[in-house]
Structure 1
Amino acid sequence: MKRFAAILFLLILVFNLYGYRLMIAYMSKASTARIEQKVDAAQYGDDELVSVKTKLNLPYYTNFNKFERAYGSINIDGKDYEYVKRRVHNDTLELLCLPNKTKTGLKSISNDFAKASTDQSQEKKNSGVLKISLPDFFCEEQTNFSVSSSLLATTIRVTNTSFSFANYSLQQERPPQAI
């Protein structure tokens, strides 16, 4: 009986550590596959589509008057969209997308679960305990820029992490003289 209870608790622990993540990843991929099947079978209405336009800075491109099938996804303001159609018109890339509400909801659930598992509640305040962590000493600068490649606009995030102390000076000083 003790062995059965130990195995059961071990399985519950492993599921809590990795099972939710795997289950959410599987459900997210299944949601994307369902939407792609729906798009391939043209089982959507034009009123469901969301238009996303972005400026193209390409020296040579071909204008298209008709939309063509596009594959991929994009996340805008925390909401996920799946590409349906695209076209290049004048200097603008226009994407027609379907909202993927299931994937957005699953990401929200995943974020809530991560917050709950790390126990970031503000109710616990340990007075008299000194907590020092390495992220307190790191300074991060993030830069976003857009790259256009094969008619799809992609945002790339560059992170510059540097180690700094609170009393560190950025002013240039003369090096010490040798004695």
Structure 2
Amino acid sequence: MRKFSSIFLLSCFCLYFFGYIVYFFAYQYRLTREWEENIWEESYDNSLTEMMEIPLSLPYMANQDDFQTTNLSMEVDGQFLRVVKQRYQNDTLQVVYIKDQQKQKLNEQVSDWIRSITDNAHNNNQNHKLLFAKFFPKDFIANEISNFEIWSSKLDSTNINTSQTDYRDIFLSLKTPPPQFG
């Protein structure tokens, strides 16, 4: 009975975890198919379209008079956009796009789910900077910190002015001799 209950609980956890991943990819695929149908049939609302001009210099690229239908997805400043038409005119790529609200909601749902799993509801930039400052020295420059602590304790014992300590030689141990040419 114990074995069955542990397998059942593990399968529930896997269904919960992998269910969101399957949901994300399946819904993203469905959104892509819906946009593809709407764009190629031109059944989208033209009042929602906006135009963006991107300076782009391409050699030997001819100016285009008419917009070409296209289906591209891009993210600009945290907003998801669906490009429906584009043309190249006078070293400028002009794109007509619609804001993709459904993809925005999907990504917000997934980020909320990830936040609930990691138990980090108060994930702000300040905590991230503090964690980086805390773990970076430990992982990458731990030897140098111990050398600095030894060196600073020697300075305190000799009572040297801090302006003179800036020019004092620091000896680093080399494990290999320098290469010799000749």
Tell me by how many angstroms 1:71 deviates: 2.5
Percent identity over the alignment is 23
Q: Does 1:66 align with 2:70?
A: no
TM normalised by structure 1 equals 0.66
What is aligned with 1:114? 114
User: Residues 176, 31 of structure 1: CA spacing in aligned structure 2 closer, same or farther, 3 A cutoff?
Assistant: closer
State the secondary structure of the residue aligned to 2:113: helix
User: Residues 80, 176 of structure 1: CA spacing in aligned structure 2 closer, same or farther, 3 A cutoff?
Assistant: closer
Q: Which structure has the highest helix share of the two?
A: 2
State the secondary structure of the residue aligned to 1:71: strand
TM normalised by structure 2 equals 0.65
Unaligned runs of 5+ in 1: 123-131, 139-162
Bigger mean CA deviation after superposition, 87-96 or 14-23: 14-23
Find the aligned partners of 2:67 and 2:89 in 1 and give their Cα distance. Answer: 10
What is aligned with 1:52? 52
User: Residues 30, 174 of structure 1: CA spacing in aligned structure 2 closer, same or farther, 3 A cutoff?
Assistant: same
What is aligned with 1:101? 101
What is aligned with 2:136? 137
Find the aligned partners of 1:11 and 1:76 in 2 and give their Cα distance. Answer: 39
What is aligned with 1:142? none
- Whether the 8 Å CA contact 2:39–2:70 is kept in 1: the answer is no
Tell me by how many angstroms 1:133 deviates: 8.3
Query: Which aligned pairs between 1:1-179 and structure 2 lie closer than 5 A?
Result: 5-121=5-121, 136-137=135-136, 163-164=140-141, 167=145
Tell me by how many angstroms 1:86 deviates: 0.5
Find the aligned partners of 1:174 and 1:8 in 2 and give their Cα distance. Answer: 61
Tell me by how many angstroms 1:48 deviates: 1.4
Q: Which structure has the highest strand share of the two?
A: 1
What is aligned with 2:155? none
Q: Quote the RMSD (CA, aligned, Å).
A: 3.4
The residue type equivalent to 2:83 in the other structure is Y
State the secondary structure of the residue aligned to 1:70: strand
- Whether the 8 Å CA contact 1:32–1:100 is kept in 2: the answer is no
User: Residues 49, 6 of structure 1: CA spacing in aligned structure 2 closer, same or farther, 3 A cutoff?
Assistant: same
User: Residues 164, 65 of structure 1: CA spacing in aligned structure 2 closer, same or farther, 3 A cutoff?
Assistant: farther
Q: How many residues align?
A: 144
Find the aligned partners of 1:113 and 1:101 in 2 and give their Cα distance. Answer: 18
Find the aligned partners of 1:134 and 1:19 in 2 and give their Cα distance. Answer: 35
- Whether the 8 Å CA contact 1:35–1:100 is kept in 2: the answer is no
Unaligned runs of 5+ in 2: 123-130, 149-169, 178-182
